[in-house]
Amino acid sequence: MKKIHINILSLALAATVLFTVASCRKDLLNQQPTTELGGESFWQTEADATYALQGAYTSVRACFDRDYYFDGQGEYVRTRNSNNSTSGGDIYGGAPYRGGGYNPTGYGSNFNTYYRYLYGAVNRTNYVIDNVNKMLPQAKAQSVEGLEAIIAEARLLRGMVYFRLISMWGDVPYIGHTVLDNAQVQDLARMPIAQVKDSIIADFTFAAEKLPQSASQLGRAAKPAALAFRGKLQLFWGSWKKNGWPELEGFQANATEAKIAFGAAAADFKSVIDDFGLTLYKNGEPGDIDGLGKAEVLPNYYYLFTPLANEDNPEMLMVFTHGGTGTGQGEELMRDFAGRSHEGSQLWVSPRYEIADRYQSIVTGEFLSPLTPVNPSKFADARTMENSTLNPQSYADRDYRMKSTIQWDYEMSVGMKSLKSTGFTPYIYKSWGANITIGGENYITYNTDGTNSGYVFRKFVRNYAGQGRSDGDYAFPVMRLADVYLMYAEATNEYNGPQEEAIALVNKVRHRGNLPPLTSARTGSKEAFFAAIEQERIVELIGEGQRPFDLRRWRAIERIWGAPGGSGVWRIDTWGAQQSRYYQNTSERTYQQNYIFKIPQSERDRNPNLTQNTPWM
């Protein structure tokens, strides 16, 4: 652990010596930093505590605001070359994610850097909690509530970090105080996951009790976020207890404990849903949609993931804000999701071919016949052939979230260069920066060489100029109300089968895609309703880093990729070419390693009390 805490002290606030003010919300970006102030001089007022809290938000944000990379561990998103996609010199350059494994298999040993940054975030939050607690006995009466709310925010952040730690590594060392000397923790052993979970619950519970009903400013947490995260932790605990976690030594499945956890999760989610007057973005209405090959008017789901949705958006329960142009603290969603025609972006993240078939018919509400990949160099009618992947008509009358999320051949987006619009550019697979005439108008095709599936993302890609590829100011979500709806449906389904209220909430999520309600066949049994919930989680949450954590807690890797020793699964493109093959002749041990991450060996070398997870021994 010694190296971990050297990094903690360099990444987090260096005890009482230095504050580096970085934003946890947009309107604090312009405030002057407080530097080189001794702790005794600094911790005097609520404003002092708020400055320190900003540093905690910044440290935690760096561990969550690029969670879309994790989606590459699932089957619907490709994340290529993680070292390049997470380039940069500090936490704003994606450093915590650097070197991580973002393919569907073989990723569990590649998160040493992420592990260190998570513990850096723990120390940052502990620093705030410890020092603000010291302020309380001398605080004026009118300041107590505000100081307790600051502690609550810091404890919520700490709980989020430990939740991520146990989701990946299971048993982990628990540090509940500020680390000023490596000797304090260098021999610390891993704490059993159940005890860590109880400590996280305590943090979330304190936050739920002390936080205000609604956040005072964008990026600050409020009571619904604390309840939602406590519910999510209980949901994961229920999943682990139901399905087991054999790769975690000593962990035992227990149906009774699972049911209790599912019930507790449902109660928290229900409070979020019922008690705060929250609604989906634009009240969950689908909005308008442009015709095939046009993109002047896009559905509401698309705008939910642009800076236009930052303000007055009750769906976003917990977000991490970014500074935008000229701040050095912009998000890089454009750079990672868009191609070179969009401010020289690099397309590190793209949809896999298989996602297209998950979008259902707005007429029947059911899945359509699988699209047929066609190579245009072999078939002259590839672009008019019925149900062809290259025929734009094959994508008509589908879930509005499809046009909001991905682009297929002849779909348009706004090109950008030097902060100015270059007009609409059509996407055509394997045609990069070429002149083309469509409907009598001349265009230059979308220049992107980062996809090997035939699709690119529209989600997270801005449709207006004025910001560079790394200068976005979108408030990235880590907890959305739509996710709470789906988690509530899952928890109640696990507890007592399909419930009318839960079905209605899933239908609300479907409505934003302009889909009809679920049929009775989709809600007639626990298993059928779970499949419907999983379907909505796939299309609603794609690109937000949720899928791989779902697959692991559901123990669904074998369901998706086949059993150990099998022939594996080819990932293909819209032309029918085989691009990547996963899980071919994969050993059972590799499957086990994909369910739990490796404790960094460098940390074990420094701390003999750090045991290793069984599949990595």
Cβ atoms of 189 and 611 within 8 Å: the answer is yes
pLDDT recorded at residue 450 = 85
Q: What is the pLDDT of residues 569-612, one digit of tens each?
A: 999 999 999 999 999 999 999 999 999 999 999 999 989 899 99
Average pLDDT over residues 96-109: 95
pLDDT recorded at residue 94 = 85
pLDDT recorded at residue 347 = 95
Q: How far apart are CA 175 and CA 9, in angstroms?
A: 14
More confident residue, 61 or 16: 61
Q: What is the mean pLDDT of the chain?
A: 92
Return the structure tokens found at 288: 């308008």
The neighbour count for residue 340, using CB atoms within 10 Å, is 19
Cβ atoms of 384 and 106 within 8 Å: the answer is no
What is the rounded radius of gyration, in angstroms, for the C-alpha atoms of the chain?
A: 24
Average pLDDT over residues 72-78: 97
Instruction: Name residues whose C-beta falls within 8 Å of residue 534's C-beta, 6 or more positions apart in sequence.
Output: 550
Q: Directed axis angle between helix 255-274 and helix 481-496, to 10°?
A: 140
Residue 297, phi then psi, degrees to nearest 5:
-125, 120
Longest dimension (CA), the chain: 80
Confidence of residue 6 (pLDDT cuts 50, 70, 90): very low
Q: What is the pLDDT of residues 34-52, one digit of tens each?
A: 334 456 678 999 999 999 9
Q: Domains in the chain, ordered, with CATH?
A: 2-219 (1.25.40.890), 279-313+322-474 (no CATH), 479-595 (1.25.40)
pLDDT recorded at residue 184 = 80
Instruction: Name residues whose C-beta falls within 8 Å of residue 41's C-beta, 6 or more positions apart in sequence.
Output: none
Confidence of residue 87 (pLDDT cuts 50, 70, 90): low
Confidence of residue 86 (pLDDT cuts 50, 70, 90): low
The single-letter DSSP state of residue 72 is G
Burial code (b: 16+ CB inside 10 Å, e: under 16) for 508-546 equals bbbbbbbbeebeeebbeeeebbbebbbbbbbbbbbbbbb
pLDDT more than 70, % of the chain: 92
Q: What is the pLDDT of residues 129-155, one digit of tens each?
A: 999 999 999 999 999 999 999 999 999
pLDDT recorded at residue 20 = 36
Q: 412: closest CA among 471, 461, 450, 466?
A: 461
Q: What is the pLDDT of residues 198-252, one digit of tens each?
A: 999 999 999 999 999 999 899 999 999 999 999 999 999 999 999 999 999 999 9
- 34, burial (CB in 10 Å: exposed 0-12, middle 13-18, buried 19+): middle
Confidence of residue 23 (pLDDT cuts 50, 70, 90): very low
Q: What is the pLDDT of residues 331-384, one digit of tens each?
A: 999 999 999 999 999 999 999 999 999 999 999 999 999 999 999 999 999 999
Return the structure tokens found at 155: 């404890």
Return the structure tokens found at 417: 């260069």
The gap from C-alpha 141 to its chain's centroid, in whole angstroms, comes to: 39
Residue 443, phi then psi, degrees to nearest 5:
-135, 165
Cβ atoms of 288 and 299 within 8 Å: the answer is yes
pLDDT recorded at residue 15 = 32
Instruction: Name residues whose C-beta falls within 8 Å of residue 269's C-beta, 6 or more positions apart in sequence.
Output: 227, 228, 231, 484, 487, 488, 491
pLDDT more than 90, % of the chain: 87
Q: What is the pLDDT of residues 242-298, one digit of tens each?
A: 999 999 999 999 999 999 999 999 999 999 999 999 999 999 999 999 999 999 999
Average pLDDT over residues 527-542: 98
Q: How far apart are CA 574 and CA 28, in angstroms?
A: 46
Instruction: Name residues whose C-beta falls within 8 Å of residue 69's C-beta, 6 or more positions apart in sequence.
Output: 79, 82, 85, 86, 97, 100, 102, 349, 545
Q: What is the pLDDT of residues 387-417, one digit of tens each?
A: 999 999 999 999 999 999 999 999 999 999 9
pLDDT value at 310 more than 90: yes
Residue 317, phi then psi, degrees to nearest 5:
-85, -30
pLDDT recorded at residue 430 = 95
Burial code (b: 16+ CB inside 10 Å, e: under 16) for 10-28 equals ebbbeebeebebbbbbbeb
pLDDT value at 13 more than 70: no
pLDDT recorded at residue 92 = 58
Return the structure tokens found at 329: 């603290």
More confident residue, 301 or 450: 301
Average pLDDT over residues 55-84: 92
pLDDT recorded at residue 114 = 96
Q: How far apart are CA 130 and CA 245, in angstroms?
A: 34
pLDDT recorded at residue 40 = 64
pLDDT value at 88 more than 60: no
The neighbour count for residue 186, using CB atoms within 10 Å, is 17
pLDDT value at 546 more than 60: yes
pLDDT value at 16 more than 70: no
Give strand pairing partners of 421. 416
Q: How far apart are CA 479 and CA 115, in angstroms?
A: 21
Return the structure tokens found at 152: 């609550």
